[in-house]
Structure 1
Amino acid sequence: MEIMQTLHMNKGDGETSYAKNSKVQNKIISIAKPIVEEAVLQLLESKNVVPMESMGIADLGCSSGPNTLLLISEIMDVLHSKIGSSSSSTEFRVFLNDLFSNDFNTVFMSLPAFYNQLRDDYFHKRSLQGPSPNLFVSAVPGSFYGRLFPKKSLHLVHSSSSLHWLSQVPASLDSKASTALNKGKIYISKSSPQCVLDAYSLQFQNDFSLFLKSRAEEVVPGGRMVLSFMGRPTPDPTSEQSCYHWELMAHALMSMVLEGLVEEEKVDSFNAPYYAPCAEELNLEIQKQGSFIVDQLEAFEIGWDPDADQENDQTVASSGKRVAKTIRAVVESMIEAHFGNEIMDDLFRRYAELVSSHLSKSRTKYINLVTSLVRTA
């Protein structure tokens, strides 16, 4: 599977779009906000960084929709509040990064309103008048598993809900492999053989190490990174919090296999380019790479459905549909590339029913890891 071409959030603003179905990601940004703000304040107090004429800020895996510019707006508010009137002389270079297939057009169309709101908020809070803050936003398409920016050009890097996506399916599990090692599953499962778990773990180690190495070239000494992504609470990669939403998707696909709607070989040859690490794995890779120091590392629980109120069966059914829409907005592009678009509506209808059934018996949570890192001098 060519991840660079097939992985993107659903575009536009329709019913199955990411823009309309990204409340979980919005919740993650909200939870991580105090850690981001603290990183910004610490950055401004670093003797290695200030004073500065130009500050580089990158948001890696920006996607599109209402969440894309939310974090940038919050960062700018903290910067202006801390720097005060001197911020008018600082140029802020904001780089929005995602894969080439991302819906950058939607992002660009939202920029005029964003600039206006930022200007109005800035001057309203200070009872000032004058030119807009020196903010320059640009898009930098490409994989963050590799270099994206010039050396020592960034002061702050942020990434939310992105680093759990791998650069590729582990090579031994790729659809071109002669033997299906993870039959009937599309990700790590309780029934997956150890070689599948090892393959995913190794792919994560290689990818995350490359990510850190690439950013080490681009971030100035004393610069900061705040990374937020799906994880798991224990070293066991088969824990329910890290993989059960994929397990239910596999069940939905296999139900279609039993009815002759999907070929079993298609399921056996599909594996998600995804990995939810535990805190110990993160710390180990950061220490091994050696360019960053962990300032904070927190784990948060987030409900599958942020709007859930599980008081009755009707609510659980509605929650299942919302969760299915959220997952569809994220994974539909790569599932469609493998299975074809004809089964999408049926597949996610079945998935919604399975999620509803699961939530009626268990309140499984996502585990989100948030880490704040400092570039060593």
Structure 2
Amino acid sequence: MRIGEVLHMNGGNGDSSYANNSLLQQNVILMTKPITEEAITSLYSSLSNPKSISIADLGCSSGPNTLLAVSNLVKAVDNHRKKLRRRHSPEFQIYLNDLPTNDFNTIFQSLPKHRREIAGDGSGLCFFNGVPGSFYGRLFPTDSLHFVHSSYSLHWLSQVPKGIEENKGNICMAAYYDQFEQDFSTFLKCRSKELVKGGRMVLTMQGRPSQNPTCHLWELLALALNEIVAEGFAEEEKLNSFNVPLYTPSLAEAKLVVEKEGSFSIECLEASQIYWTGYNGSDDYEVNSGYGVARSVRAVAEPMLVSHFGEGIIDELFHKYTEMIVDSISTRPETTQFTNVIVSVIKM
């Protein structure tokens, strides 16, 4: 699997698009808003009336969430500027990064609307740039960024670890930790070159609450794939060679990598929980929730699945997957939460 070619969300605005199935990711951005606002306002206070501030959102994807975080950051700076009684708002250089296969066209088409919304608050001019490429490498010139934000992207790895090509029906493994440590350390090294001294980063990734390396939603997808194979819709060899390049770190693991890499001091490190879905209070809660969660996972995973198995299994796979999620919600509600690891750091 060539990660750079298949690791992207479903584009466009269809029923299975990421744009229409990213409520969870939106709620995560809103949940971490106090931490990002504290980081950006502290940064702004430390600068002496800056003429411009450069902000990069790494792993921006596409859809309504893409500009949510940067819009909040720009507004937070302007509100803080008024509290400090500084007369002139800085201009903002906004960099939106994702892999080249990301749906950048949808992002660019939405820019005029967002520009008007931000300008309506009296904030400084915003200049938007698309930056295609992997954040597990250099993306920007040395000392060119003030602030880096990334939400729900860093649990995706640069590659499936070597040596586990035959994974016998599982699609995610504890052996991924070494790859996560290598990737996250590389990410930190690259950003330490690109950020100015005192620059800030706020990183949110899907994590786990304990040392047990499991992710229930992906385990259910593995079970659904095994059923597809058992019923003859796909070959067993295909399943055995399919591995999702994802690792959900614990809080301790994320902290260890940051401290070991050594370029940043940790300002805030915390874990929080969020439910899989925004549905609640409906008479058909489990069914509606299961359908919504399955569509959200499909928006994320379908490009990888199609690349490996072909399009023929997708509808049947997600029919089975939806049933499994509905059953899990009704019988094991304690499993219907994601743990989020949030790290706010300053470049030393």
**TM-score, scaled relative to structure 1:** 0.89
Corresponding residue number in structure 2 for 1:5: 5
The 1:87–1:229 alpha-carbon spacing in structure 2 relative to 1, beyond 3 Å, is farther
Q: 1:322 aligns with which of 271, 289, 292?
A: 292
Equivalent residue number for residue 166 of structure 1:
157
Cα pair 2:49 2:86 within 8 Å, conserved: no
Distance 2:87 2:60 in 1: 25
**Structure 1 residue 89: Cα displacement:** 5.5
Q: Which secondary structure does the structure 2 equivalent of 1:58 belong to?
A: strand
* 3-state SS in 1 of match to 2:129: strand
The CA distance in 2 between the partners of 1:334 and 1:88, in whole Å, is 47
State yes or no: 1:133 paired with 2:124: yes
Report the residue type matching 1:184 in the other structure: G
Q: CA deviation at 1:134?
A: 2.0
Give the corresponding residue for 2:231. Answer: 259
For the Cα contact (< 8 Å) 2:92–2:125, is it kept in 1? yes
Q: Which amino acid aligns with 1:161?
A: Y
Which residue of structure 1 lines up, in the alignment, with residue 38 of structure 2? Answer: 38
Give 2:148's match in structure 1, choosing from 144, 152, 157. 157
Structure 1 residue 295 and structure 2 residue 267: aligned?
yes
User: Contact (CA 8 Å) 1:61, 1:160: kept in 2 or not?
Assistant: yes
Give deviations 1:184-237, integer Å, cap 9, x for gaps: 11113xxxxxxxx2x301000000000000000001111100000100111221
- Give 2:168's aligned residue: 183
Deviation at 1:55, TM superposition (A): 1.1
Specify the SS of the correspondent of 2:29: helix
- Say whether residues 1:228 and 2:204 are aligned partners: yes
Q: What residue is the counterpart of 1:77 in the other structure?
A: 75
Contact 2:195 2:347 in 1 (8 A): yes
> Do the aligned partners of 2:81 and 2:89 also contact (CA within 8 Å) in 1?
no
- Alpha-carbon contact 1:80-1:87 (below 8 Å) kept: no
Instruction: Give the one of 38, 56, 59 matched to 1:58.
Output: 56
**What is the DSSP-based 3-state SS (H/G/I as helix, E as strand, rest coil) of the residue aligned with 1:229?**
strand
Question: Which residue identity is paired with 2:289?
Answer: S
**What is the alpha-carbon distance in structure 1 between the residues aligned to residue 230 and residue 77 of structure 2?**
57
1:351 correspondence with 2:321: yes
Aligned to 2:219: 247
- Partners of 1:169 and 1:271 within 8 A in 2: yes
For the aligned residue pairs, the C-alpha RMSD in angstroms reads: 1.4
Does the Cα contact within 8 Å between 1:224 and 1:375 map onto a contact in 2? yes
Partner of 1:126: none
Query: C-alpha separation between the residues in 1 aligned to 2:249 and 2:48?
Result: 34
1:94/1:137 contact within 8 Å kept: yes
Equivalent-residue separation in structure 1 for 2:278 and 2:48 (angstroms): 39
Unaligned runs of 5+ in 2: none
What TM-score, normalized by structure 2, do the two folds share?
0.96
Q: Which residue of 2 aligns with 1:204?
A: 180
Q: Write the distance in 1 (CA, Å) between the matches of 2:280 and 2:184.
A: 33
Structure 1: how far apart are the matches of 2:72 and 2:256? 31
Query: Match for residue 28 of structure 2?
Result: 28
Assess if the C-alpha contact under 8 Å between 2:119 and 2:125 holds in 1.
no
Q: Which residue of 2 aligns with 1:193?
A: none
Aligned length: 344
- Counterparts of 1:270 and 1:50, CA distance in 2: 52
Q: Secondary structure at the match of 1:171?
A: coil
Comparing 87-96 with 328-337, greater Cα deviation is found at 87-96
Map 1:301-320 onto structure 2 (within 5 A).
301-309=273-281, 314-320=284-290
Q: 1:34: Cα distance to partner?
A: 0.3
SS in 1 for 2:43: helix
User: Alignment partner of 1:173: what SS?
Assistant: coil
Determine whether 1:369 maps to 2:341: yes
1:170 aligned partner, one-letter code:
P
For the 8 Å contact 2:272–2:339, the answer to whether it is kept is yes
- Mapped contact 1:7–1:333 kept (Cα < 8 A): yes
